[in-house]
Amino acid sequence: MRMELIQPFINSADAVLAQGLDSPISIGSLSMEEDAYRRRGVAALIYVTGDIEGRVIFDLDSPTAVRVASKFAGTELPESDSLVWETVCELANQVTGNAITALNDQGFHFRVHPPVLHTAEVGSKSSEDTEALVMCFETATGNIFMNIALRYNRRRHPEHTAVAGV
């Protein structure tokens, strides 16, 4: 996966999380995921279709999800509160939407689908043309993982596909 696809997500996550959590964040680790995706806790999944296709997963362990949701809600939430997963879904939506906006300015066109809760313990394994990149954002509230698997749509953007495999 090329950096031109990743950088907007990093910038967007940095901006959205720093504003929402009201504290600086840093990227703790960045790795390619070769095995199947395994959920850590509360995870939101967003599909993207168009010139670039794939999915973005936002994943927080349960205690971190509760702390993040409580921070946004301005009150302590119990783990069972639906606002906990609602918050994770909306954060995923905002980060993906802002990143897609930046990519659109570079000439890519897509559609962002509404976030859904990722309930399965294990997801599909990444393939040769849809590698998954996992980023860990370290915040004062805990670690937030973003798992991105995107690829150029061959039918819609052949010129990018040609260089993407290099």
Partner 1 sequence: MEQFAPVKRAKDGQPIRYLVVDDSVFARKNLARIIQTFGGQVAAEAGDGVAAITEYERTKPDIVLMDITMPQMEGIAAAEKIVVQHPEARIVMVSSVGYQENIVAALQRGARHFVQKPVKPEVLYEVIKYVLGDDATVTSAAGAGV
Among 2, 38, 109, 154, binds partner 1 (CB under 8 A): 109
Q: Which residue has the tokens 């296709």?
A: 53
Tokens encoding 92: 């995923």
Q: Is 97 in the site for partner 1 (CB under 8 A)?
A: yes
* Binding window for partner 1 (CB under 8 A); candidates: 1-9, 58-66, 84-92, 153-161: 84-92
Q: Is 6 in the site for partner 1 (CB under 8 A)?
A: no
Q: Are 13 and 146 in contact (CB under 8 A)?
A: yes
Q: Is 14 in the site for partner 1 (CB under 8 A)?
A: no
Tokens encoding 11: 């910038």
Tell me the sheet residues that pair with 74: none
Q: Is 21 in the site for partner 1 (CB under 8 A)?
A: no
Task: Report in angstroms how near the CB of residue 120 gets to partner 1 at its nearest.
Answer: 20
**In the complex with partner 1, which residue's Cβ is closer, 101 or 127?**
101
Instruction: Give the C-alpha distances (Å, rounded to integers) separating 118 from 5, 56, 98.
Output: 23, 11, 21
**In the complex with partner 1, which residue's Cβ is closer, 93 or 126?**
93
Task: Report in angstroms how near the CB of residue 95 gets to partner 1 at its nearest.
Answer: 8
Q: In what helix (H) or strand (E) does residue 81 lie, and over which residues does it extend?
A: none
Nearest CA among 71, 78, 73, 86 for reference residue 140? 71
Q: Is 83 in the site for partner 1 (CB under 8 A)?
A: yes
Tokens encoding 131: 């590698």
| Residue 65 neighbours by CB distance under 10 Å | 27
Q: Is 98 in the site for partner 1 (CB under 8 A)?
A: yes
Q: Give the residues lining the site for partner 1 (CB under 8 A).
A: 16, 19-20, 69, 72-74, 82-83, 86-87, 89-90, 93-98, 100-101, 104-105, 109, 112-115
